[in-house]
Structure 1
Amino acid sequence: MMKRDDEILGALCKSIIHGDVDGAVDAARQVIEHDVDVRKALSFACRDTMQVLGELFEQRKIFIPEVLLSSRAANAAIDFLHSYLSQNNNFHNEGTVVLGVTTGDFHDIGKNMVKMLLELGGFKVYDLGIDTPAEAFLEKAIEVDADIVGVSALMTTSMENMIDVVNLFLEKRDDVKVMVGGAPVTEEFARSIGADGYADDAVKTVQLSRELIKQRATILKGKKRKVSPYQRVMMTLRGEVPDMVPTAPPFQGYWALHHSGMTVGQSIAHPELAAKTQYREDRNSGFDAYECVWDWLAPVEAAGGHVRIEAKGNPVTIEPLLKRAEDIDSLEMPDLQSQERISSAIEAATLINELNDRSRFTYATLAMPFTLAAELRGTQNLLMDLFVNRPYAFKLLKYCTELTISFTSLLQEAGIEAYLFCDPVASGDLISTEVFEEFSLPFINDVFGHFNRSDDKTALHICGNISDRLDIFRGLNTDAVSIDSNVDLSFVRRMLGDRFTIIGNVSALETLYMSSPDKVRTEARRCIEDMGGKGLVLASGCDITVGTPVQNIRTLTLTPKEFM
């Protein structure tokens, strides 16, 4: 009996692989006549067939025409068996599923098998066929009020397009469950792109679909009103509790450029291309908020600083512009609008916001005066000036305050409505609390004072350990504080209460850049739990390191869904 079953299944597989329609139908007839378990036979035969076809395609031993012929033979066998099973089953309504093969893929053997078994399992199935764009999945899901969307792929070159489907449903209809499958797809890949489920064969897909239906019912029962990413961030900044914790990089600009293959120099020379690149990369990453201005040190070169533009990462100040403290006396305020990096940043930010259309929250990253002064004078020189050339140090800090506010004003005129100011040189790893209070804090307050008559949102980021100056932060007139990864968030909450929204603080280097998605998930969950699930924008503790795996970033942005 077992040998005969194997011979029948082997004949079915062979006929499909060779594109033999008559042979495939005859083998299907043998399945029925010899009482082979039809569901098991279909799962076994088609799974093996897909694996063989996938290997042959990857080895370039067969191409699209052969795949299409195999698909035709498989469909003929599936239709024959489906007709038989339909006459011998009673159906009930388990749920509604939309199925399709992802964009750029023309192989539907597996999808057709899944369709048949889902229908036999009591599901209402709408089949979109092959080469299906993400928008078509969404449109059909809305039309038929689908519970689940299933996306399949045979080719590794097309499976990446599943990301577009997942992203679209996360943004537009995150109540609909998205499951993925196909020969090259793995559970790890499915998890990394944010899919709700994965099955490695058609029979398991039926059970997976039932589990997803139960999950969806539970979520809908206790679900908060869904809001857009932009609304999610705004609600958090207002002290409200949205549907889930929002996410931000907070600094992703240079990572996104490098990930897309664009150099920093190219981004400055071609702001329109840079804007489209940032928009695409950040949407694919899944952030609720992201930088629309990332060239935060542009005023250094505008003031006359000696700067080298690297292919990747932040532009570097080669040497101090101000060799002596008294050189500040001859430093003039530049015409910022005539500076290429400034005008490029404004043009890119404007286009990003046009593309974004407030679907996500965007902000400009700028430098606070103390850090700008360190760039112009040199960090060591400035720190010495604080003690031996105090009048000149204060004069330089006032100059840098005016420079920062001038850049801010140009961005406000361009319609930018949120600002994240960075002051890494004011870190507790570099200066004492007393020095911070005397030389950094007054100018931070001056910058935030510029927004007193504005509805624009602001935030402050200081790198490193700032535990010793959190009590001073209580007096800041800002909406949010970004915390580096070496500060415990539960301590931050105890010190600051609900005074600010907190941004942070998964380790950018040790976790996001160097570790696994599981480590990212663990640390992200810790951040959310330490903050009690509110008053937090989940983010990296500092710049996302150039070269950070996109899978780790996707894990960061998807973790808040686990707390919904």
Structure 2
Amino acid sequence: MGTVTPQEVWDRLKNGVINFDEEMVVEAAKDVILYRMDVYDAIMNGLVCGIEEVGELYERGEYFVPEMMMCTDALYSGLNILRPHLKREQTGIRGQIIIGVVQGDIHDIGKNIIKMMFDAVGFEVHDLGRDVPLERFINEQLRTDAEIVCLSAMMTNVMPCMNEIIKKIKEKNPSVKIMVGGAPLNEHIARRWGADGFAREANDAIKCAIRMVSTLRKLGLGPGGGEPEIKYRKIAQKFE
């Protein structure tokens, strides 16, 4: 086999996810290790790029739930090979995130994509699923002491309950950071309700979450408090 470039391997990872070809993804992931390529770059420029495009195909009505499930299987077949080889300094993240779709809404495709991307870059994700009652968000945050709670909604009529969830969580633990996302939302509404972040797209969500965890670490409010902030900045730059 001739010279193998990182871009070639990234393309195979990406296309393997898009075409739900687990064999292609596995072989490309093995090449990342064999040729001593940057594992973090392979995940972000290969697997994550692939699942982002899958999300776009779903939104355009070209892919449906069965295709999404097969694409997800392909993505995780690569992650299972690559993640054990990630160096700690490549992620620097040891934050916990609670994520779920608020009660009354069952549209979870966006939430699922963002969950996978959080998982890929090293967050510990507690996925509550869809149609999640207010109290469950509160109880899960108290149980896990997660630094960030992510609320998703795609239906306009369920949006107001986000305001109540944010208020109740902040009453229990003012240091928790809360991010909201979904098609009907915008940054103005998020700020008015007291959310700490708003994400229109998956990469925005990751950048926002990294900055939130970084702030908590700097203030000593989360696990590993007081660690240097510089490593989190380096990761956020990956998404600029």
Structure 1 CA distance for aligned equivalents of residues 33 and 131 of structure 2 = 33
Equivalent residue runs for 1:193-232 within 5 Å = 193-194=190-191, 195-198=195-198, 200-201=202-203, 204-205=207-208, 207-213=210-216
Cα deviation code 1:478-499 (max 9, x no counterpart): xxxxxxxxxxxxxxxxxxxxxx
Q: Structure 1: how far apart are the matches of 2:51 and 2:107? A: 17
Q: Please give the TM-score of this superposition, normalised by the length of structure 2.
A: 0.66
> What is the count of residue pairs matched by the alignment?
203
Show CA shifts across 1:434-466 (max 9, x none).
xxxxxxxxxxxxxxxxxxxxxxxxxxxxxxxxx
Distance 1:210 1:61, change over 3 A: same
Separation in structure 2 between the aligned mates of residue 140 and residue 105 of structure 1, nearest angstrom: 19
Q: Compute the TM-score of the two structures, normalised by the length of structure 1.
A: 0.31
CA offsets per residue over residues 393-432 of structure 1, 9 Å max, x none? xxxxxxxxxxxxxxxxxxxxxxxxxxxxxxxxxxxxxxxx
Higher Cα radius of gyration? 1
TM superposition shift of 1:191: 4.5
Please state how far the C-alpha of 1:16 moved relative to its aligned partner.
0.7
- Give the aligned partner of residue 146 of structure 1: 146
Letter aligned with residue 210 of structure 1: V
Quote the offset at 1:158 in angstroms.
Answer: 2.9
Structure 2 gaps of 5+ residues are 222-240
Shift of 1:171: 1.9
Q: What is the rounded CA distance, in whole Å, between the counterparts of 2:132 and 2:157 in structure 1?
A: 9
- CA distance in 2 between partners of 1:192 and 1:215 (Å): 27
Which amino acid is the alignment partner of residue 16 of structure 2? S
Separation (CA, whole Å) in 2 of partners of 1:5 and 1:27 = 10
Equivalent position of 1:296 in the other structure: none
Alignment correspondent of 2:24: 23
Match of 1:189 among 163, 179, 186: 186
Contact conserved, 1:95 with 1:147, CA < 8 A, in 2? no
CA distance in 2, matches of 1:216, 1:132: 33
Deviation at 1:70?
0.8
The separation in 2 between residues aligned to 1:95 and 1:7, in whole angstroms, is 31
- Which of 112, 115, 119 pairs up with 1:115? 119
| Partner SS, residue 171 of structure 1 | helix
Q: Supply the RMSD in Å over aligned alpha carbons.
A: 3.8
- Contact persistence 1:19–1:66 (CA under 8 A): yes
Question: 3-state SS of the aligned residue for 2:146?
Answer: coil
CA distance in 1, matches of 2:34, 2:55: 30
Output the CA distance in 2 between the equivalents of 1:79 and 1:129: 22
Equivalent residue, structure 2, for 1:127: 126
Q: Does 1:42 align with 2:43?
A: yes
Structure-2 separation of matches of 1:46 and 1:180: 24
Displacement of 1:37 in angstroms is 2.1
Decide whether the 8 Å contact of 1:100 with 1:127 is kept in 2.
Answer: yes
Opposite residue 149 of structure 2, the aligned amino acid is V
Say if 1:69 and 1:101 are closer, same or farther in 2 by CA, change over 3 A: farther
Whole-angstrom CA distance in 2 between matches of 1:165 and 1:80? 40
Distance in 2, Cα, partners of 1:51 & 1:31: 21
Q: Which residue identity lines up with residue 60 of structure 2 in the other structure?
A: Q
Change (3 A) 1:198 1:27: farther
Compared with structure 1, are the counterparts of its residues 217 and 83 closer, same or farther at alpha carbon in structure 2 (3 Å cutoff)? closer
Which ranges of structure 1 fall in alignment gaps of 5 or more residues? 120-124, 219-564
Decide whether aligned partners of structure 1 residues 33 and 197 sit closer, same or farther in structure 2, where only a CA change above 3 A counts: farther
- Alignment identity in percent? 23
Question: Against the structure 1 CA distance between its residues 114 and 14, is the aligned structure 2 distance closer, same or farther, given a 3 Å change threshold?
Answer: same
Matches within 5 A, 1:446-457: none
Q: What whole-Å deviation, never above 9, does each CA across 1:52-74 have from its counterpart, x for those lacking one?
A: 22321222111111111111111
Q: CA deviation at 1:141?
A: 0.5
How many Å separate the matches in 2 of 1:43 and 1:4?
Answer: 16
CA distance in 2, matches of 1:127, 1:145: 11
Look up the match of 1:408: none
Residues 95 and 12 (structure 1 numbering): CA distance in 2 closer, same or farther, change over 3 Å? closer
SS, match of residue 100 in structure 1? strand
Could you report, residue by residue, the CA deviation over 1:82-136 in whole angstroms, capped at 9, with x for unpaired residues? 1222xx43799976522335342146344123124234xxxxx242264362533
Please tell me whether the aligned partners of residues 186 and 198 of structure 2 are also in contact (alpha carbons under 8 angstroms): no
Query: Where does residue 61 of structure 2 map in the other structure?
Result: 60
CA deviation map 1:262-298 (0-9, x unaligned):
xxxxxxxxxxxxxxxxxxxxxxxxxxxxxxxxxxxxx
Report deviation, 1:48: 2.6
Q: Which residues of 2 match residues 227-306 of structure 1 at below 5 A?
A: none
1:104 aligns with 2:123: no
Kindly provide the amino acid, as one letter, of the partner of residue 170 in structure 1.
I
